[in-house]
Amino acid sequence: MSFVWKAIACFAALAASTTLHAEEPVPTAKWSIAIHGGAGTLTRERMTPEKEAAYRAALQVALDAGSAVLKGGGTAADAVTAVITRLEDDPKFNAGRGAVFTWDGTNEMDASIMLGETRAAGAVAGVGTVRHPILLARAVMEHSPHVFLSGKGAEQFAAQQGLEIVGPEWFATDDRKRQLEQMKAKNLTALDVEFKFGTVGAVALDEHGHLAAGTSTGGMTGKRWGRIGDSPVIGAGTWADDRACAVSGTGWGEYFIRVGVAHEICDRMLLAGEDAQTAADKVIGEVATMGGDGGVIVVSKDGDAVFSMNTPGMYRGRATSSGTNEVAIFADEDE
């Protein structure tokens, strides 16, 4: 074959190779995120159209913040904190600025975060001066040799880390004050005055295949004696493991701790081979059998974003790289 024909043949082969490569499907980054803002007796009868619209809008703002991080190639941990810091600043939710009052008229907040890749974790409990408890939990995870800090020590660490410190007036909203006054005057339970277990959380899978989970709360109205619920307890209210899933819970903390809800869901997926929805439903069913209420959000290692609850409603939302983007309140919206 002459040199000219050899050159033509090589050029044709190169062109064919280039054409075939161009026709191959281009891999797309896969990410997923789910959020919650508390579960409880959330019914249409108890909610005005205006209030419902306000909650849906607030959930969408938080969901969009987390989605933007993931769309931009950010980490699951960054997406989780982007969601939760926004919910902590919104007085409609019982976390950060919307935290409920203890029996003594103070605000005590808890939070936790966990990474699925390394199972690194950070948690704080009983803090009252830190604007964003979730950022403090993350600082514990990233900048201390510990996992769990509480009270004044946690607040001292927050100041050393340069986190924003605020006065009690930042958290003292009129609605939460009225709830405590109503509870004391009528000898009611926290759920009677609040209609929900107030907690916020987020779980995410990033395009690198890593999971993260975070949870933040103001606890229960009228809580006493330094009570701590499941939200800052790694394995109860928060868990993440790249081999299975990421979970954040909201509900009656004492039962979530006793069941080990978040860890139990991931274990069922990892060891029993259950899918995310099945595992979540079984564990929330176990909570119900014991007498507890609440719900969870779960994102699996494959990007499935699911909810499960044994209450009439849960403030929630989810978005994925495949186009899902939705928020919901009432349980029957998933039917």
**Residue 209 φ/ψ region, left for φ over 0, alpha for ψ in the -120 to 50 degree band, beta for the rest:** left
Is residue 124 helix, strand or coil? strand
Host H or E run for residue 295: strand 294-300
Instruction: Determine the Cα–Cα distance for residues 58 and 93; give it in Å rounded to an integer.
Output: 10
- In the set 85, 199, 217, 250, the catalytic residue is 199
Cα separation, 143 vs 104, in Å, equals 32
199 is catalytic: yes
**In the chain, what is the straight-line distance between the N-terminal and C-terminal CA atoms, in Å?**
70
The alpha-helical segments, DSSP class H, found in 187-330 are: 190-194, 253-259, 261-272, 276-290
> Which residues make beta-bridge pairs with 36?
201, 316
- Polymer length in residues for the chain: 335
Per DSSP, 230 falls in state S
Residues with a known catalytic role: 199
